[in-house]
Amino acid sequence: MQVLKHKIRAEGKVLSDTVLKVDSFLNHQIDPQLMKEIGQEFAELFREEGITKIITIESSGIAPATMAGLIMDIPVVFARKRKSLTLSKNLYSASVYSFTKKETSEISVSGDFIQPDDVVLIIDDFLANGQAVLGLIDIIEQAGARLSGVGIVIEKGFQNGGELLRKQGIRVESLAIVSSLENGKVVFTEEEQA
């Protein structure tokens, strides 16, 4: 998605050879116009799949997931990272190791919002080692729902999450795939540049 790649080039900050900061439009301040275009792209990509629900993780997946949900006219559920007192019964949970925070956290979704007849699209901001997506897949399986695919805003192709998921036959659509962050420079994969 060219507009996204231009934005990453213009505003992304390479924090190390493995971490990209996009706080000015996705992870802190949000660019609603760009999020709308991202939502439209996901809606178009997964149009034929009969999706009934989008699942993401708080907090950075919520903006792109909500825009996709608006256009697809389906609800969006976000897994919570902290257990709230009001979220105690009928809960699906999974452990997720965070690449950026270097800690494991428990994510949870209420059974009220995911049903066995749901066809689910996972949306998240970044794909690194795939741990967040695997946690969400675990929850979808616990609920007996069906995973349709995964929509990612920025995939870091030099980490193994994309390969791990695609090898399992899971459809993963990433709007920008970064092949390298070395020497402070963002490089996108060739097919993505076409």
Residues forming contacts to ligand 5GP in the complex (CB under 6 A) are 19-22, 27, 57, 60, 98-100, 124-132, 161
The token pair at 179 is 């092949």
Residue 156, marked binder: yes
Contact indicator for 154, 182 with CB cutoff of 8 Å: no
Residue 67 C-beta: closest distance to ligand 5GP, Å = 17
Residue 194, marked binder: no
Residue 94, marked binder: no
User: 129 or 179: whose CB is closer to ligand 5GP?
Assistant: 129
For residue 166, which of 145, 150, 188, 187 has the smallest C-alpha distance?
Answer: 150
Residue 73 C-beta: closest distance to ligand 5GP, Å = 25
Residue 128, marked binder: yes
Residue 145, marked binder: no
Residue 139 C-beta: closest distance to ligand 5GP, Å = 14
Residue 85 C-beta: closest distance to ligand 5GP, Å = 25
User: 57 or 68: whose CB is closer to ligand 5GP?
Assistant: 57
**Known binding-site positions for 5-phospho-alpha-D-ribose 1-diphosphate:** 128-132
